[in-house]
Amino acid sequence: MNQTHSLPGPDDITRFVLPNGITLLLRSNFNSPSVTLHGYLPVGSLFDPDEKLGLSDFATSSLMRGTETRSFEQIFDSLESVGAVLGFSAGTHTTSFSARSLMEDLPLIFDLLADCLRQPVFPPAEVKKLRSQLLTGLAMRAQSTGDMAAITFDKLLFRDHPYARPDDGYPKTIRAIQRDDLADFHRRCFGPAGMTLAIVGAVDPARVRDQVEEVLGDWVNPLQPAPPALPELLPLSETVRQHVPLAGKSQSDLLLGVLGPRRRSPDYPAASLGNSILGQFGMMGRIGDVVRERSGLAYYASSNLSAGLGPGSWEVSAGVNPSNLEKALDLIIRELKLFTENGVTQEELSDSQDNFVGRLPLSLESNAGVAAALINLERFDLGLDYYRKYEGMIRAITPAMVVEAARRYINPSALAIATCGP
């Protein structure tokens, strides 16, 4: 069997754009009686005012709490009666949703999705209950060394940029949000322009398009704003560091890193392979080997490349005994210097290339995996043939390309360093 041809491509992905701006991506898989749906709208915390940060997250969490035609209980009873799942989540740029059902129940899913997106009523009792839940979550966040290090890291790295703000806000801003704020935010910001749905499973593409058009085709919102332009963000010129004290903790968490490439950057594939070698592959790459395995200084240690529509981050995280914090930081910074000075070996690169190429078909074995992959194609404008070209693109990257990408982004003398613990 031709592995490349078994991957999604232009010949088996059907793409429709409805007149109101909704994009549909469909791929049939009649080996499964189920259907998976993933999607998003271009509305997120970028639209939140500072004094009501968390508004997008609050509104999204309220969508299934009651609509003009269904109560909270009726929505969940409808799903439970057919063993289906539907959920929403908010991010910085987007409000995402996902669903899973049997093929014959897909019209119900579309009906519920349209109802929750178009006609939420934000019942006061449910808003009060949800606010209490959100505040509980923020109280737990405030006691998590990992979460507080991550929030502080974003403030240092993305200073004076919307990415410096936590999507879920702060206790003060959540308390400031009233039911009318939620309804007004939904009225202004939710709409079909830029909405994308990927549907994979035992479906006929033309029939699914008709079903979506029936429930969402007449949706318009002349108030819907365009996504805001992101301000330019320059790399740090020197190391900045902040510690968040949390008494009574037996672990300190640390995050250090730099600005990374956007997902659409030509540097991204080489940086991604470099990140695998630095702190992902095997037992968490070089970082895991040096800091955790050989030195025994960390409970966990790895690196991560976070890339999206805007500037990303290239970061190293670790959980350590508080007495080992400075030793672990010194070791990690030394490893970053070696990484940018000496680059990677052909053997390291080949191992990571094999891993990247081998795990792609595994990630696409399920309807959910394919649906998520199709969403990425559209969100980042990668092209319908991206997965067919993927192996060639990954194999073409050389050690010199990896070290060039590493040197472009990683400056061991200009890091954002956030730590949290006793």
Is 212 or 292 the better-scoring residue by pLDDT? Answer: 212
Return the CATH number at 260: 3.30.830.10
Residue 3 lies in a domain: no
Average pLDDT, the chain: 96
- The yes-or-no verdict on residue 32 having pLDDT over 90 is no
Report the candidate in 169, 158, 168, 166 with the shortest Cα–Cα distance to residue 230.
Answer: 158
Same domain for 45 and 194, yes or no, is: yes
Same domain for 256 and 358, yes or no, is: yes
Same domain for 297 and 403, yes or no, is: yes
- pLDDT tens digit string along 232-262? 999 999 999 999 999 999 999 999 999 999 9
Same domain for 150 and 297, yes or no, is: no
Cα 156 to the center of its chain, rounded Å: 20
Residue 230 lies in a domain: no
Residue 223 lies in a domain: no
Same domain for 152 and 274, yes or no, is: no
CB 37 within 8 A of CB 96: no
- pLDDT tens digit string along 119-147? 999 999 999 999 999 999 999 999 999 99
pLDDT of residue 2: 46
Same domain for 277 and 183, yes or no, is: no
Coil, helix or strand for 244?
strand
pLDDT band at 281 (very low <50, low <70, confident <90, very high): confident
Average pLDDT (385-396) is: 97
Q: Name the domain count of the chain.
A: 2
- pLDDT tens digit string along 152-191? 999 999 999 999 999 999 999 999 999 999 999 999 999 9
Residue 224 lies in a domain: no
Report the candidate in 41, 97, 94 with the shortest Cα–Cα distance to residue 64.
Answer: 97
- d(CA 292, CA 342) in angstroms, rounded, equals 22
Which range marks the domain in which residue 356 is found? 240-421
pLDDT band at 98 (very low <50, low <70, confident <90, very high): very high
